[in-house]
Amino acid sequence: MGTGLDLPLDQILVGDCIEALRSLPPASVHAIFADPPYNLQLRGDLRRPDDSLVDAVDDDWDKYDSFAAYDAFSRAWLTEARRVLRRDGTLWLIGAYHNIFRLGVALQDLDFWILNDVIWRKANPMPNFRGRRFTNAHETLIWAARGQESKYRFNYAAMKSLNDDQQMRSDWFIPLCTGAERLRDAAGVKLHPTQKPEALLHRVILASTAPGEIILDPFLGSGTTAAVAKRLGRHFIGIERDPGYAAAAAARIAAIAPIASAAALSLPSKREQPRVPFGVLVERGLIPAGSRLQDRARRYSATVGADGTLRCGAFAGSIHKVGAALMEAPSCNGWAFWYAETPGGGLRLIDEFRAEINQGLVA
- Provide the 8-state DSSP code for 62: G
Among 72-80, 117-125, 225-233, 281-289, which window interacts with DNA (CB under 7 A)? Answer: 117-125
**How many other C-beta atoms are found inside a 10 Å radius of the C-beta of residue 328?**
7
Whole-angstrom distance, CA of residue 67 vs CA of residue 99? 9
Closer to DNA at the Cβ: 7 or 293? 293
171 binds, among a second copy, DNA, none (CB under 5 to 8 A by kind): a second copy
Nearest to 258 by CA among 238, 233, 235: 233
Among 2-10, 22-30, 172-180, 224-232, which window interacts with DNA (CB under 7 A)? Answer: 172-180
Give the CA distances from residue 110 to residues 140, 280, 284, in Å, rounded to whole numbers and listed in that order.
19, 46, 51
Closer to a second copy at the Cβ: 143 or 236? 143
238 is a site residue for DNA (CB under 7 A) = no
274 is a site residue for DNA (CB under 7 A) = no
65 is a site residue for DNA (CB under 7 A) = no
328 is a site residue for DNA (CB under 7 A) = no
Q: Which of 16, 26, 48, 266 binds DNA (CB under 7 A)?
A: 48
Q: How far is the CB of 231 from a second copy (least distance, A)?
A: 22
Backbone angles phi, psi at 144, to 5 degrees: -140, 145
Whole-angstrom distance, CA of residue 220 vs CA of residue 224? 7
Among 19-27, 158-166, 232-240, 295-303, which window interacts with DNA (CB under 7 A)? Answer: 158-166
Closer to a second copy at the Cβ: 55 or 171? 171
Whole-angstrom distance, CA of residue 356 vs CA of residue 279? 15
Residues 196 and 9: beta-carbon distance below 8 Å? no
Closer to a second copy at the Cβ: 166 or 359? 166
Q: How far is the CB of 86 from DNA (least distance, A)?
A: 14
64 is a site residue for DNA (CB under 7 A) = no
**How many other C-beta atoms are found inside a 10 Å radius of the C-beta of residue 42?**
12
Can you say how many angstroms the Cα of residue 290 is from the centroid of all Cα atoms in its chain?
45
Closer to DNA at the Cβ: 9 or 123? 123
